[in-house]
Amino acid sequence: MVVDGHRAMVWFFRFSLFIGLLSAVVTVIYFTPFPQLYHANCERPCHELDWPMICRVKLSLESHQLLGSWCADCHQNVSDCDLKDCLTADGIPRYTLSANRQLPGPAIQVCENDILVVDVTNRIPGQGVAIHWRGQPQRETPYMDGVAMVTQCPIPAHTTFQYKFRASQAGTHLWQIHTGNGQIDALFGPLIVRQADRREVQRQLYDVDDPNHIVVISEWPIPGKTESTTSSSATLLINGRAQTKIELDSEDPHYKHASTRFNVTGGKRHRMRVIYAGSQIGCPVSIQIEKHQLQVIAMDGHPIFPQVVQSLILAPGERIDFVLKADQTEFLSYWLKAETRPSCHKQSSSYALIDYMFRPSKEPSSLSRFNEETATTQTKVLSTVTENECAMSDHICLPKIKSMNKLPKDLAAEKLDLTLYLPFDFVSVLSSPEFPDPLLKPRINNITFMFPSSPLLSQAADLQESNSLCSDAKRPKYCMDEAGACQCVHVIDIPLNSRVELLLIDKGGDDLTDEHVFHLHGGSFYVVGSKKGLADNSLETIRKLNAEGGLLEKNLKDPVIKDTVPVPPGGIAVLRFRADNPGYWLLHDQKAAHWSQGLDVILHVGNSNDLPSVPENFPRCGNWVGPEYFLI
């Protein structure tokens, strides 16, 4: 009887413990607010215990007049320039394309792993478009990557396409129209994906992450100028406006008003997010703030070992986050300057103002100090592009920038599963006997990329009989007769989960003095090496040197993680990544005038069995042959 009583008490205790735990779980679930179906605005402080939100955004793409009637008296009264629907750009009235009548387009700000539902309505007459979400790997949703004729059909005029994907990659990113038309490339906007404080590894370095502290730099074409690689045809805009530095009087070192202003709190450290959208001319730009140092903490959405610098240089498509220490006491306003690099044939600059809400105390404060243990104060310039100054001790360039995340051991091996050599150049060809002036045709591995007639991702079967798909080993018969100018749909097959080393090799042939900048869709990569002047070697020599480890110094410990990389002029960039995201992913030159003419290649990861099924009622496009009939 004593034993039975003891068993009963043990059973009762276990049952009570189970009931208690179950009650606690039910209570937590009951009082946890369940997410609404859709949220029009998901901008909020992020917390690791919150439910992901479903964020509904609507983008309307249309033609819009700069300095139109809705700008009232903007030329004489600067406050009118802030009226709704008023776009100013460089102050020259003309028509342009816009998203929701904004330039840049509206900023989309969400938390990590939120679900984005974006209705894109194309109101551009006679023009098909698609939107790419730069920085988002689209692991679950390759059909939403937004590359016309690769992942989807273009969105026809006066129709709506709904993008649905998870914002899985935190950081400062960009949404942009993905077509070859230079004017349409002006359609872009910030995509900011924040992390919960506990997941943000750089959180201790700043006090304020203001949603308004986004600096979008873009090139703006000058009317009457044509695209050219030998002369500048664009000016710089900061958040959609150009601003020159016009002094009013000698007593005040600052000026009447700036088109773009950023408010900061004295004594606080502010996280600033810089996006260089580019990309008609594609010149690198430098960023600096008068009398301030910049603590760079992230590149392309990935944290780096912090660097305190006086200025930073970035290429089109890149994003950089830095911390601004608002500790100056001399004035209440300071200039932020964006300027094209001297390598450009004609320099352009634009300004914004950093406005202090009040002067900070002159006494040193721990809030306004950078972390001296993780920052280098001797560095003047941080640059992602290759310059002669990179050899100087006060410059830190891409090969020396370190990531906060270590290179995985499986990618640090001496030899990986697959090594891809991608030399690119420009070949001179005659367009026709009537036009004897030669054209420069871009090539990767002697192939000029041609976009397919149907999307590879959803209609690959339609292309099997088209005789347009090609690779380094298999080319269409019509290419055999062309003198080094084969044009086809260049696809490289990569087995799923392969460890890949990819070498981008600039063999020249064009007249650009700046480097080419490449962007990879579908994920990020580690930049383990970069060096100029190596492409003079033959491809056989490069292969041999790389296999022997004597090509260039590689960082196999903590290389920077990016999705956009400048390739040094006449040089090589070495990238490593694991191909664990099945799909058809475009690798292309950042400059629209180049990738739209063939400086691209598609990396096909995995096979059809690895892909998620095509969404129901997904749009289809391609050839059409009418019914057979006879006229009587």
DSSP state string for 244-260: ------SS-SS-S--SS
Q: Angle CA(534)–CA(541)–CA(536) in degrees, nearest 5?
A: 30
Task: Calculate mean pLDDT across residues 220-228.
Answer: 61
- How high is the pLDDT of residue 373? 39
The overall average pLDDT reported for the chain is 85
- Report which of residues 1 and 521 the model is more confident about: 521
Integer Cα distance of 422 and 539 in angstroms: 10
CA Rg, the chain, in Å? 27
Higher pLDDT, 16 or 347: 347
Produce one character per residue of 33-47: b if its CB has 16 or more CB atoms within 10 Å, e if not.
Answer: eeeeeebeebeeebe
pLDDT of residue 583 exceeding 60: yes
pLDDT at 375: 43
Q: Cα(533)–Cα(548) distance, rounded to whole angstroms?
A: 19
Answer yes or no: are the C-beta atoms of 187 and 97 closer than 8 Å. yes
Query: Looking at the predicted structure, is the pLDDT value of residue 232 above 60?
Result: no
| Gap between the Cα atoms of 235 and 445, Å rounded | 34
Length of the chain: 632
pLDDT of residue 78: 76
Predicted pLDDT at 157: 94
User: In this model, does residue 247 exceed pLDDT 50?
Assistant: no
Query: How do 115-122 and 54-65 pair as beta strands?
Result: parallel
Q: How far apart are CA 154 and CA 144, in angstroms?
A: 12
Average pLDDT of the residues in 53-71:
91
For the ranges 12-26, 209-223, 614-628, which has the lowest average pLDDT? 12-26
Among 191-195, 223-227, 307-311, 350-354, whose mean pLDDT is lowest? Answer: 223-227
Q: Write down the pLDDT at residue 612.
A: 93
Question: Quick one: pLDDT at residue 517?
Answer: 93
pLDDT band at 472 (very low <50, low <70, confident <90, very high): confident
DSSP lists the bridge partners of residue 575 as: 502, 527
Question: Is residue 30 very low, low, confident or very high in pLDDT (cuts 50, 70, 90)?
Answer: very low
Confidence category of residue 400, pLDDT binned at 50, 70, 90: very high
pLDDT at 230: 39
Q: What is the number of other CB atoms lying within 10 angstroms of the CB of residue 321?
A: 26
Catalogue the E-assigned strands of 222-342.
234-238, 261-264, 269-278, 285-289, 294-299, 302-309, 311-314, 319-325, 333-340
Q: How confident is the model over 264-276, as a mean pLDDT?
A: 96
pLDDT at 353 over 80: yes
pLDDT, position 364: 42
Count of CB atoms situated within 10 Å of the CB of 572: 24
Which of 593, 588, 620, 449 lies closest to 132 in space, CA to CA? 588
pLDDT at 191 over 60: yes
Q: Give the residue from 171, 115, 108, 210 showing the smallest Cα distance to 318.
A: 171
Overall average pLDDT of the 236-257 stretch: 61
Q: Looking at residue 590, what is its pLDDT?
A: 87
For the sheet with 234-238, list strands across it: 234-238, 214-221, 269-278, 319-325, 294-299, 302-309
CA 333 to chain centre: 30
Cα separation, 173 vs 169, whole angstroms: 9
Given this model, what pLDDT does residue 371 score?
A: 43
Which span out of 145-154, 469-478, 480-489 was modeled with the highest average pLDDT?
Answer: 145-154
What does the pLDDT read at residue 485? 67
- Residues 443-464 have pLDDT tens digits of 999 999 999 989 999 998 887 7
Q: Is the pLDDT of residue 31 over 50?
A: no
Structural domains of the chain ordered from first start: 34-196 (2.60.40.420), 201-224+233-404 (2.60.40.420), 409-605 (2.60.40.420)
- More confident: 549 or 1: 549
The pLDDT score that the predictor gives to residue 292 is: 95
Q: Given this model, what pLDDT does residue 525 score?
A: 98
pLDDT (0 to 100) of residue 480:
63
DSSP string computed for 573-588: EEEEEEE-S-EEEEEE
Q: How confident is the model at residue 256 (pLDDT cuts 50, 70, 90)?
A: very low
Residue pLDDT, tens place only, 536-547: 889 999 999 999
Phi-psi category of 394—alpha, beta or left, where left has phi over 0 and alpha has psi -120 to 50?
alpha
pLDDT of residue 345: 66
pLDDT, average across residues 282-300:
94
pLDDT band of 528, cuts 50, 70, 90: very high
pLDDT at residue 21, rounded to an integer: 67
14-18, 385-389, 480-484: which has the minimum mean pLDDT?
Answer: 480-484
Q: What is the structure's pLDDT at 255?
A: 42
Q: Which helix (H) or strand (E) holds 57?
A: strand 54-65
Task: Extract the tokens encoding 548.
Answer: 């022997």
Please spell the DSSP secondary structure of 480-506, one letter per residue: GGSSS-EEEEEEEEE-TTEEEEEEEEE
DSSP state string for 59-114: EEEEEEETT-GGGTTTTT-GGGGGSTT---BTS---EEEEETTBSSPPPEEEETTP
Closest CA to 94 of 61, 60, 124, 64: 64
Q: Which SS3 state, helix, strand or coil, does residue 436 take?
A: strand
Flag the least confident range among 10-24, 103-117, 592-606: 10-24
Whose tokens are 């964020």? That residue is: 55
Tens digit of each residue's pLDDT (9 = 90 or more) over 66-94: 888 888 888 777 778 888 888 888 888 88
Res. 281: pLDDT tops 70: yes
- pLDDT-based confidence at residue 440 (cuts at 50, 70, 90): confident
When pLDDT is cut at 50, 70 and 90, the band that residue 309 belongs to is very high
Q: Is the pLDDT of residue 592 over 80?
A: no
Strand partners, 39: 55
pLDDT of residue 376: 44
Band the pLDDT of 276: cuts 50, 70, 90.
very high
Portion of the chain with pLDDT greater than 70, in percent: 82
Res 369: pLDDT: 39
The mean pLDDT value for 350-374 works out to 63
pLDDT value of residue 585: 97
- End-to-end CA distance of the chain: give it in Å, rounded: 106
pLDDT at residue 381 tops 90:
yes
pLDDT tens, residue by residue, 9-24: 656 666 666 666 666 6
